[in-house]
Copies of this chain bind each other. A is one copy, B any other.
Amino acid sequence: MNTQRLEKVLKKMETEGLEQMIISDPYAIYYLTGRFIDPGERLLALYINQSGKNKIFINNLFTVPEDLGVEKFRFSDTDDYLTPLCDCVEAGKPLGIDKTFAARFLIPVIDHSGASSYKVSSICIDEVRACKDDEEREKMRAVSAINDKAMAQFRGLIHEGVTEEEIASKMLDIYKSLGADGYSFEPLVGFGANCALGHHGPDNTVLKEGDTVLFDVGCRKDGYCADMTRTFFYKKVPSEKHRAIYETVRRANAAAEAILKPGVPLCEVDKAARQIIEDAGYGPNFTHRLGHFIGLEVHEYGDVSSANTKVAEVGNIFSIEPGIYVEGEVGVRIEDLVLITEDGCEILNSFSKELDIVE
């Protein structure tokens, strides 16, 4: 167990009036124990209590080190593991429950644990995870550096007659050759009008002169996720409108990054980018929030949107990804990851954002 992280979680629980909680999110368990287990349909649960009476429930199928730093309850598929889990719970007191805890476990716990109430309380971990510690910052820098190098190679795959799928099919090998463990998400590769589609997966569309080429890509390394988007032009910028759209998105990205520092409300960061796009007449074409938090997962708790009035804190890492999408015509998105520092922010991606015409 990472005792520093656990202490922070217990402190958040205290402010929520919770003495005990069941954590089931595999990433949250990895965050606290250093061991990632994907339990599939099986139970994986970490019970924590202010008293220090913690216990982790792990199926025998999964190997874990002896010295996990927390008492283990091991079980096989045919054992009763729900009664021991319920027995942990202090009756008569509220029980915090992870947001992802599945009904097949939660309903028996509600029927048998005797807790006085049940409260979704993932926020106690999620808010801690939102502020990356030094070790995590290093890993996010490292994985983002790989993503920068990979983007340069992806750019090199743009050529006459290539399809989206052909480019996408080469990305995993490139990431691995640069030291990544794999994708952090399936890459989005779009040409021309396909760039305007929200979640367009690479297909057999053939590249043609004047197309935009959008790469929304990320790799994973040592558990942490990169995520970056760049949009290129192939051979020419087909119209002044295309150029204006690109430059507007670039300025929106820069405007948001320029105001980042501890204490800035995240809705203001969203606004800084959105205002520039609105002023250019493309407000309705920026159809999503400006960014999302990221770390062990590509999308973590926390976002940069008009609805989020929370302020940026030191150690937050999130994306800044404004976009303009004109259906049937063109889409441009530019995305970096940023780390909030004591006196501003560190942009984790260094790949150029200047308008770039690939010959």
- Tell me whether A299 and B104 are in contact (CB under 8 A): no
How many positions in chain A have a CB within 8 Å of any CB in the partner chain?
Answer: 27
Question: Cβ of A336: which chain B residues have Cβ within 8 Å of it?
Answer: none
Partner of A120, one of B40, B104, B118: B104
Other-chain contact of A118, B77, B98, B107, B122 (Cβ < 8 Å): B107
A-B contact pairs, 14 of them (CB 8 A): A77-B307, A97-B103, A97-B107, A99-B102, A99-B103, A101-B102, A102-B102, A102-B103, A103-B103, A103-B118, A106-B106, A107-B119, A169-B172, A169-B173
From residue A35, how far is it (CB to closest CB) to chain B in Å?
Answer: 15
Cα distance, A120 to B108, chains bound together (Å): 9
| 8 Å CB interface, A184-208 against B | 198
Which of B77, B100, B299 interacts with A102 by CB under 8 Å? B100
Return A12 CB to nearest CB of chain B, in Å. 17
Most chain B CB atoms below 10 A, which of A40, A102, A103: A103
From residue 72 to 112 of chain A, which have CB atoms closer than 8 A to chain B? 77-78, 97-104, 106-108, 110
Across-interface contacts of A118 in B (CB, < 8 A): 103, 107, 110
**CB-based nearest B residue for A63:** B198
- The interface bits of chain A over 287-318 (1 if a CB of B lies within 8 angstroms of the residue's CB, else 0) are 00000000000010000000100000000000
Chain B residues with CB under 8 Å of A307's CB are 77-78
Whether A41 pairs with B299 at a CB distance below 8 angstroms is yes
Q: Does A61 contact B (CB under 8 A)?
A: yes
B residues in contact with A102, CB < 8 Å: 99-103
Q: Which residues of B contact A98 (CB under 8 A)?
A: 103
A297 to chain B, nearest CB (A): 10
Selected contact of A104 from candidates B108, B122, B172, CB within 8 Å: B122
B-side contacts of A107, CB under 8 Å:
97, 106, 118-120
Given the interface contacts A40-B299, A307-B78, does A100 sit within 8 Å of B103 by beta carbon?
Answer: yes
B104 touches A103 (CB 8 A): no
When the two chains form their complex, are residues A61 and B103 in contact, meaning their CB atoms are under 8 A apart? no
Q: Which of A40, A120, A307 has the most CB of B within 10 A?
A: A120
Chain B residues near A104 (CB, 8 Å)? 99-100, 120, 122
Which B residues are CB-close (under 8 A) to A169? 172-173
Residues of B within 8 A of A299 (CB): 40-41
Query: In the complex, given contacts A103-B106, A169-B172, what are 18 additional A-B residue pairs having Cβ atoms less than 8 angstroms apart?
Result: A40-B299, A41-B299, A77-B307, A78-B307, A97-B103, A99-B102, A99-B104, A100-B102, A100-B104, A101-B102, A103-B120, A106-B106, A106-B107, A107-B118, A107-B120, A108-B120, A110-B110, A169-B173
